[in-house]
Structure 1
Amino acid sequence: MDRAAAEEARKERDRLYVSDAEATFAHDELLPALPVPPLRQTVDKYLDSVRAVVSDEEYVLTEGLATDFENGVGAELNQRLLQRAQKSRNWLEQWWEDVAYLSQRQPLLPNSHMGGTFALFEDAFQFQGGRSLWAARNITCYLQFWLLLRQERLKPQSFRKIPWTMHQFRRFFNTTRVPAEGKDVLVSKFLTEAEENYAGESPSHVVVLQSGRVFTFDVLNDRREPLTTAEIATQLDRINDVCMRMGRGAGVGTLTHGDRDSWAQNRRVLLELHPDNERSLRLIEDSMFAIVMDDASPTNRKEVMTECLKGDCTNRWVDKSYSFIVFENLTLGSSADHTPFDGMVPVTCAHFVHLTYLATRHNQDDGDVAKSLPMPEELHFHLTDHLVSEMERVKMEYYALCNNLDVLCDVFTGYGKGFMKPVRIHPEAYLQVAIQLAYYKLHKKPGATYVTASTRGFYHGRTETCRACTPELVEFVQAALDGKTSITKVLDLLKVAVTKFEELMVECCKNHGCDRHLMGLALTAVEEGVPIPELFMDPAFIKSGGNGNFILSTSCNGYTPLIGCVAPMCTDGYGVFYSIEENRIIFALSAFKESSETNAEALYQHIKQALFDLQGLLLSAKL
């Protein structure tokens, strides 16, 4: 049975992620340019989303502002935006990175990083080989993913036979967000084998953070082959020996948790203080990824997610694009910067690692240890009293932010997509109905909702916002909860709401939503020195989610046992993330404790009840 399961995992991994026929980035330069939607269409979509969350009186005012905008300054700005789009294959790309990410000055953790949990709890708790070997076996799987990328054998992704850009995968490894005052800089040193001018141009070392210390070692040997699992385990054992012998280090990574301007200033002090600091920073920033050997022992998904988003700041380097976290009790997690890529990139890598581990766990060949294996190097920093005091200040501010964030992660075992498909409702549409039903029942009002829609069908495309709280969905929710509407009518309203969501999602994946276009028009006004149009100052703009104020920030993490989580967009908002398996749904929720309105646990209980209520409603239709 174990052998059959392993073979099944191997086949699934190869089917999903391995290709010898098409190169990973083969389609990237052939994809169409990101389009600018028609202005009238954008305004209509925006008004439709506003109608769902405001009163009739508020809507009339907003409709007037929208008409004035469309016929006046909006039309002028749209012409300028169209001119910009003619000169670029992705008119949004630079703005998106600069405004949505690099110009943001607040700390990256816990506010904007993506935390993730793995699914190998049972394996972790039963593993007999020690933490270094356990970590090494997983790191070996990461190296296989890295090699696929390097050799361009990672299968290009597509949707309904439309190729998707793989550009974001270039920035998974060897990538760092370097702090700078005013606006950070994203630096990536990853190259494919074909792009290298000389062997080793793309860095092949990792960094390991343990006990407030930072170490590095190369994961390739002298022949440019990956180290064996046994060799990686040996390096981790050596690092652990140093930490046991020397005790805790200074925890310089704490400084990366500060607001971006203060970290930029402190980094400059480090650079000017001593050449060793410059070398240490360069090695960290150029490394493939960070491996965190953490002291905590979280025992379930919620505790793991909490540690990933709110963990030991002396043992993290927040600027790195990706950190693989191995806890004391062998549970696993991750932390990723949102700047270089969206959530499905780390989910793809983690699922590949998951399947690779399952395929090899019962016949693992850890290999030998070469006698010439060099020792890991500890990276040292020279510090001043000022920097030490800065670390204490940042630590206090970081934990204050952490104490304000509530994180929940759990598995709903009532049913999964296996029930949804026969009733002809797309699983993501189904979840959006349940989430809105739960929010309305708890808060007695609709919640403006962000759902991630992928625009990767376009050159360097990332996301558009699907505004899932539609008038049709609100009408269904109100009818489902009023206790007076007939089941037949409620079912009819459900069908209309689901159809609307599915159509909206398809349009948004074509970049025909409203949020990115409106953002482009607002930024065009800023660049042209034009006063910000009244439309963007209207309270309904904020109320409907504009300017990052969606009450429900949601995303489907796919259909695997893996789940990620991000903090809410706004004070009185929630983060709601879900992964939909055949017979269960994994949820991760976040909320801010300072809010007098939100409660992650209460919303989750209402979501579970909403799922059962929806199931009962749909089953009653069959009777």
Structure 2
Amino acid sequence: MAEAHSAVAFSFQVTHDGLRINYDVRLLQEVWQSGVRSWRRRIARFNNNLSAGVFPSSVEFLLFICSAVLFSDLVLAIDPSFGAISLLIRVLECLLPPTFVRLFALILFSVFLWIAKALSLRYALKCLLIYKKWIFESRVKKPSLLTRLWMVGLRLLTLKKPRLYSFQASLPRLPLPPLEQTICRYLESVRPLQSDSQFAETTRLARDFGRGVGRRFQRYLWLKAWWASNYVSDWWEEFVYLRGRAPLVVNSNFYGIDSLVSCLPTQKPSARAANLVYSALVFRKLVDRQELAPILLQKAVPLCSSQYERIFNTTRIPNKNVDFVLHSRDSPHIVVLSSGKFFKLQIHRKGRLLPPRDLQTLFQRIIQDDSPVTPEESRLAALTASDRDCWAETRLKHFSRGLNRVSLSAIEKSAFVVVLDDESHDFQTSQQLDAWAAALLHGKANDRWFDKSFQLIVAKNARVGFNGEHSWADAPILAHLWEFILHHDFRVLQYDSNGDCRLGHSHANDASPPIRLQWDLTPPLCLAIDLAFKSAVSVVKDVDLRLFSHKEFGKRFIKRCHVSPDAFIQMALQLAYRRDQGHLSLTYEASMTRLFREGRTETVRPITNQSKRFIDQMLSSEVCDKNQSKELLLKACLNHQRLYQEAMCGGGVDRHLFCLYVISRYLSVDSPFLSSVLSEPWRLSTSQTPHGQVGLVDADFVSAGGGFGPVADDGYGVSYIIAGEDNIFFHVSSKISCKTTDSKRFSKNIEKALKDIQNIFI
């Protein structure tokens, strides 16, 4: 129990000889530095919030206005307020001493002018950000006059360099679509998938809903859209993620993969882990200080940054029926999982971040730790891979007090988790790629803490990746972090000729040593761990995951075809699915709605009448008419691009219908139409991983993106990233237990579909 004693900084004993005081000077210094760091963060947070709150105005402008008003009144004897200052003086004469009345009135008037200016600029910016027609205009042609004037006004209002949250108060709310519009768009989306009789029944249910209870539900939703910052996001997080009772592994969490460089600059996992951890902590500091620049589309239009707040110090806590997200303002430590053992690692020394050289030394100590570990302790993390209600019950029974509570709290309140794997992974063959992707998605089911917001995973040969929990944010947020980490690892921090970290001079002996977390593994807890592990293993073994690289062509060729790269790939996926399954199925593609405050995602439905005609044409005969196929493809891609743009602008179908369904549940009113819509399975779930969001990734260290598990038991999950000009990576997942799906077969069908569409333009 040496670790427990070392955590006591101050104690005293009453003896026969008097009062004996024991204290640890080094630990008290750490406590003092922790408090100083906390206060610095609070002051910095206050200053940053003030600066972001008045954007696009500035705090400095207040000083300018005060100086101008004081100079005009006291030196030039000119009243700049047209009598307002005199009125303030008469009001304040009965409250303040005569000496300070005029000065206070001048300052008060200056503050009023400053606030009025700040609010005017903010609402002017908000009005400009409501404009969305620029999205629908072709990038090839010259923008319209209205769009050009809008862009000029937007740039004039944002001359000041924005901070991470500067635009938050100016972002518009997600618009609530008219009920009739959503119903019409839904019917259009299902028409290619239904027979005439099925579509007639769906149309009847939709019209009955629109003329009946739908209007009542829409009024409640209108009230929420008017009152809340975003009428979707809170319900989406709660009902789609936090109320989900299935295990997080495979079903919810996603992963990101390392850069596919042929030769890593180091083979030392301790060095690679140190550079990655240090880069992540630098990113955390930038987020905390709001020094990270917000992502701007067209270098002018901001995306919502609210999700960045919970990247670090965040854990999903299991609870009966509904989980909750625990987020701490700060965390002075990370947790390292190595060989089945958990270690708490302090990341500061004397108020500063430990440099990579120190972190490398500490990681090496953890790797070399040869203390014994019991089978139950090595399987402890499997609890986070089990059914959420089972994990919640186990947590309540066995982790509410004593040693287990202290150790679990250390994990849940850590900045993030680092996993040091005991296996090597590489990318030389397709089998190695598949194995590394599987290791990042689920590992061995007992060597990942799936509740954490994200965990960095380092293989024995220094290959790296991450696993992310989905409820608190969407993949582009962690993709931004990952891009930053890889850039700093390869371009900024780097390694010396021995493969060791370059930054810093090792003072690891001055840093707090890693503390191994201890557990009280009682027989009932061991039984729960064993059951959780067996359940998680059954989930993991059912995953069929393939990762492959399409190198025949990429973005360069697709753009020469004058179509959207995303639409091009979506048409290929539909063609591949039709060949694989013999029919089309409801397809999900994720798009973002971060043009609006607290926006997350919307669904694009790629299957349309236009895409169905194109696929029918491609499969009509062995020799198809290239010109006709090209014409149908261009129409389908153009229509898909329009649907994607409408979804980005809040004109999608599924989030609106989802919220109407939530209202129906609250009101206990059954709707056959909504029940039918929400019960439709997404047998093909797709998502594009963003590449190079902030321009840090170059062709030398292209990442393969990331992936996720299948959404439906009898379906496919497909993630893709257009990596560079001539490369596209696909992550294809399905379930082995399903007899009608096969990830390897579907991957080959995707390759064939891409080749067939390419031949249309050759």
CA deviation after TM superposition for structure 1 residue 596, in Å = 1.6
Kindly report the root-mean-square deviation, in angstroms, between the aligned alpha carbons of the 2 structures.
1.8
Corresponding residue number in structure 2 for 1:271: 399
Match of residue 374, structure 1, among 487, 499, 512: 512
Corresponding residue number in structure 2 for 1:16: none
Aligned pairs for 1:336-415 (under 5 A) are 336-360=468-492, 361=494, 365-370=502-507, 371-415=509-553
CA contact (8 A) 1:211 1:248 kept: no
Corresponding residue number in structure 1 for 2:644: 505
CA contact (8 A) 2:250 2:710 kept: no
CA contact (8 A) 1:347 1:562 kept: no
Q: Deviations over 1:479-524 (max 9, x none)?
A: 1111265322221111110111010001001121110000111111
Q: Percent identity?
A: 29
CA deviation after TM superposition for structure 1 residue 20, in Å = 9.7
Q: Which runs of 5+ in 1 are unaligned?
A: 1-18, 191-201
CA contact (8 A) 2:254 2:467 kept: yes
The alignment's TM-score, normalised by the length of structure 1, stands at 0.90
3-state DSSP of counterpart to 1:122: coil
CA contact (8 A) 1:136 1:229 kept: yes
Indicate whether 1:284 and 2:411 are aligned: yes
TM-aligned CA distance change 1:106 to 1:71, over 3 Å: same
CA contact (8 A) 1:548 1:570 kept: no
Counterpart residue identity of residue 237, structure 1: Q
Match of residue 105, structure 1, among 231, 236, 245: 245
Match of residue 385, structure 2, among 257, 272, 284: 257
3-state DSSP of counterpart to 1:407: strand
TM-aligned CA distance change 1:27 to 1:185, over 3 Å: same
3-state DSSP of counterpart to 1:52: helix
Indicate whether 1:584 and 2:584 are aligned: no
TM-aligned CA distance change 1:209 to 1:170, over 3 Å: same
Corresponding residue number in structure 1 for 2:92: none
CA deviation after TM superposition for structure 1 residue 204, in Å = 2.5
CA deviation after TM superposition for structure 1 residue 590, in Å = 0.5
CA deviation after TM superposition for structure 1 residue 580, in Å = 0.2
CA contact (8 A) 2:445 2:540 kept: no
CA deviation after TM superposition for structure 1 residue 120, in Å = 4.5
Aligned pairs for 1:44-55 (under 5 A) are 44-55=184-195
TM-aligned CA distance change 1:616 to 1:297, over 3 Å: same
Q: Deviations over 1:425-453 (max 9, x none)?
A: 11111110111111112222112211111
TM-aligned CA distance change 1:263 to 1:247, over 3 Å: closer
Larger CA deviation: 335-344 vs 365-374:
365-374
Q: Deviations over 1:32-52 (max 9, x none)?
A: 112111111100111111112
Counterpart residue identity of residue 311, structure 2: F
Identify the structure with bigger relative contact order (alpha carbons < 8 Å, sequence gap 6+): 1
Match of residue 528, structure 1, among 657, 663, 667: 667
CA contact (8 A) 1:351 1:562 kept: no
Corresponding residue number in structure 2 for 1:466: 604
CA contact (8 A) 2:416 2:453 kept: yes
Corresponding residue number in structure 1 for 2:201: 61
CA deviation after TM superposition for structure 1 residue 121, in Å = 4.9
Indicate whether 1:574 and 2:574 are aligned: no
Aligned pairs for 1:168-183 (under 5 A) are 168-183=307-322
3-state DSSP of counterpart to 2:652: coil
CA contact (8 A) 1:121 1:331 kept: no
Indicate whether 1:565 and 2:689 are aligned: no
Indicate whether 1:450 and 2:588 are aligned: yes
CA contact (8 A) 2:705 2:720 kept: yes
TM-aligned CA distance change 1:572 to 1:87, over 3 Å: same
CA contact (8 A) 2:585 2:683 kept: yes
3-state DSSP of counterpart to 1:313: coil
Indicate whether 1:596 and 2:739 are aligned: yes
3-state DSSP of counterpart to 1:312: coil
TM-aligned CA distance change 1:131 to 1:486, over 3 Å: closer
CA contact (8 A) 1:556 1:578 kept: yes
CA deviation after TM superposition for structure 1 residue 537, in Å = 3.7
Match of residue 176, structure 2, among 36, 51, 61: 36
Corresponding residue number in structure 1 for 2:758: 615
Indicate whether 1:204 and 2:332 are aligned: yes
Larger CA deviation: 180-189 vs 363-372:
363-372
2:203 and 2:269 mapped to 1: Cα distance?
Answer: 60
2:751 and 2:645 mapped to 1: Cα distance?
Answer: 27
3-state DSSP of counterpart to 1:458: coil
1:22 and 1:86 mapped to 2: Cα distance?
Answer: 27
2:372 and 2:261 mapped to 1: Cα distance?
Answer: 31
Corresponding residue number in structure 1 for 2:52: none
Counterpart residue identity of residue 450, structure 2: V
Counterpart residue identity of residue 579, structure 1: I
Indicate whether 1:156 and 2:294 are aligned: yes
Q: Deviations over 1:358-388 (max 9, x none)?
A: 2133666231122411211111111210110
Q: Which has the larger radius of gyration?
A: 2
Counterpart residue identity of residue 535, structure 1: F
Corresponding residue number in structure 2 for 1:295: 422
